[in-house]
Amino acid sequence: MTDGIIWLAAPRCIAFGGYRVMMARGLSPEEFADRLAAAVDGAERVAVAVGQHTGDTLLELMEDTYGDAFEGIGLRLGRTGDWSYAVAYGGWQGEFGPLEPVSRGGAHVFLLEYEEENGKPVPPQFAHAHDGRPMSACNLHLDASWGYRGVEGDPVTAARLQESLTAAGLPAPERDSREVHRIALGVVERFFGLSLPRDPVVNGTLPAVLLEPA
C-alpha cells in the first residue's frame, strides 16, 4: 500500500457525488462485502456478485438494472497486503448504519466518506471501529458540526488522533476547505498507516457486487 489516501481530496476523485471508501484488516473482501450488505439500513440486503467492473461499467450496469444508478448500491472490492477495501457507487449516501457491527470478531474497519455534491455542504467524514467498538470518528474539518465535537471514540485513540490533527494546524476555518481536506487526510493516513491504491480504483477492473434485497 503506497498511494496513501490524500488523493481522495481531488474533485470527483472516484465518481460524481463524492466517495465512500471502507477498508478492513482481518476480513477477506468477500466477508467484508457481506458485512457491509448487512449494515445497510432498512430491508435486509445481500451482496450479489456481478463480475469484474471498472467504476464506469458498474454504474452502467446499475443504470440498466435499476433505471437510475442512484436507486441501488454497488461495491467494487480489492485487496492490497493484509487490507481489504470496498468502494461504493450509486445511492450510498445516508444508507449505511453504524460501523461497529462490521468490525466484530477483532477486525479493524475504517470509513472515509465525502458527499461532495451535497449542497448543505457536508464535511468529509472519518470513522474507525475495532472489535465492535468505536475507536475514533470526526468530520475532517474538525469543527463542532454534524454531530461531532472534535475527535470522538476511545479515550486514548481519539485523544492521540486529536493531538495529531491539532499539531497539523486544524481546525483551520480560514483555509480553503479542499486544503483542509487534504491536510486532515494526510494526518489520518500517517496515524493509521492507511492507503488506497489509486490506479486499480480509478482506472482498473475489480470484482463488484450489488447490495440487493435478500
Give me the sign of the Cα torsion angle 14, 15, 17, 23: negative
- Rounded to an integer, the average pLDDT of 67-95 is 96
> What separation in angstroms does the CA of 100 have from each of 113, 117, 128?
16, 27, 8
Rounded CA separation 157/177 (Å): 25
For residue 161, pLDDT over 80 is answered with: yes
User: What contacts 129, CB < 8 A, 6 or more positions away?
Assistant: 98, 99, 100, 102, 103, 108, 109, 135
Terminal Cα distance for the chain, rounded: 34
SS3 label, residue 204: coil
For residue 124, pLDDT over 70 is answered with: yes
| 145 confidence band (pLDDT: 50, 70, 90) | low
Give CA 160 to chain center in angstroms: 21
Q: What is the CA radius of gyration of the chain?
A: 16
Rounded CA separation 187/6 (Å): 9
- Rounded to an integer, the average pLDDT of 140-148 is 74
List strands edge to edge, sheet with 206-213.
45-53, 206-213, 73-80, 83-90, 19-25, 108-114, 125-130, 133-139, 152-153
For residue 43, pLDDT over 90 is answered with: no
- Rounded to an integer, the average pLDDT of 121-148 is 88
What's the chain's length in residues? Answer: 214
Q: Are 212 and 71 in contact (CB under 8 A)?
A: no
- Rounded to an integer, the average pLDDT of 40-60 is 97
> What pLDDT sits at residue 211?
98
What is the grid cell recorded at 114? 465525502
> What pLDDT sits at residue 143?
75
Q: How many CB atoms lie within 10 A of CB 206?
A: 20
With a pLDDT cut of 70, the percent of the chain lying above it is 96
Q: Mean pLDDT across the chain, nearest whole number?
A: 94
Q: How many CB atoms lie within 10 A of CB 13?
A: 17
Q: Are 5 and 196 in contact (CB under 8 A)?
A: yes
| 120 confidence band (pLDDT: 50, 70, 90) | confident
Rounded CA separation 8/157 (Å): 23
